[in-house]
Amino acid sequence: MKLVDKFYINGQWVQPAAGAAQADLIDPATESVAGKVAMGTAADVDHAVAAARAAFPAWSASTREDRIALLERIMAAYKARLGDLAQAVRQEIGAPITVATNLQAAIGLAQLQATVQALREFEFESQRGKSYLLREAIGVAALITPWNWPLNQIAAKVAPALAAGCTVVLKPSEIAPLDARIFAEIMDAAGTPPGVFNMVFG
């Protein structure tokens, strides 16, 4: 029985706030209950948002080089967990292991790689006639992702937000929480500064 009972907030794995319920994790191959997923409350969201807000001033002031370095560390950690990610997606959505490995897990890595490439060339400052254009991070990004192609959806939102200098709160689908938990472990292993990436279910 799998148990996803902690959230990743401010660089730590934390227990849900009081009053959090649990949802069944259904095995799509057998339609039986394979585990439980903690469903956070407004208090958990507030906790995650507060952490992201506190981390925003420093992260938004980081350099392009700082952001590229973090994303490259995330890619390295992601590559090291490709097999685990593929197995998680196989269990969650019922994809054959070949599809889970060669497409589902691989496409998340492709999103990270594309973001780094775009970040290397992105113009944060430019002159438009007599106007000067400065693109700045907007703040905390709330990222809600679906169960289908879960790693693609997570990476396609998290990586550009970090590249732009935003901090994030990710709410993945409770139908596909296993790969999201591994993704949070990857973010932690990559040395993501506390509060820059946060994840809650519910």
Helices 177-189 & 150-164, crossing angle to 10 degrees?
A: 30
Domain ranges of the chain: 2-199
> CA–CA separation, 6 vs 113, rounded Å?
29
**pLDDT at residue 117, as a whole number:** 97
Per-residue exposure over 144-173, b if at least 16 CB sit within 10 Å of its own CB, e if not: ebebebbbbbbbbbbbbbbbbbbbbbbbbb
DSSP letter at 200 equals -
Q: What is the pLDDT along the chain (202 residues), one digit of tens a residue?
A: 788 999 999 999 999 999 889 999 998 988 999 999 999 999 999 999 999 999 999 999 999 999 999 999 999 999 999 999 999 999 999 999 999 999 999 999 999 999 999 999 998 888 889 998 889 999 999 999 999 999 999 999 999 999 999 999 999 999 999 999 999 999 999 999 999 999 999 9
**CA torsion, ordered 2, 104, 87, 23, to nearest 10 deg:** 10
In this structure, are strands 197-199 and 12-14 parallel, antiparallel, or unpaired?
Answer: unpaired
Using CA atoms, how far residue 8 sits from 44, 151, 157, 196, in Å, is 10, 17, 17, 11
Contact 192, 11 (CB under 8 A): yes
Strand pairing of 12-14 and 7-9? Answer: antiparallel
Q: Cα–Cα distance between 46 and 60 in angstroms, integer?
A: 20
Class of domain 2-199: alpha beta
* Residue 126 confidence (pLDDT): 86
Q: State the pLDDT at residue 45.
A: 97
E strand segments, 122-191: 125-128, 131-134, 140-144, 167-171
Report DSSP state, residue 129.
T
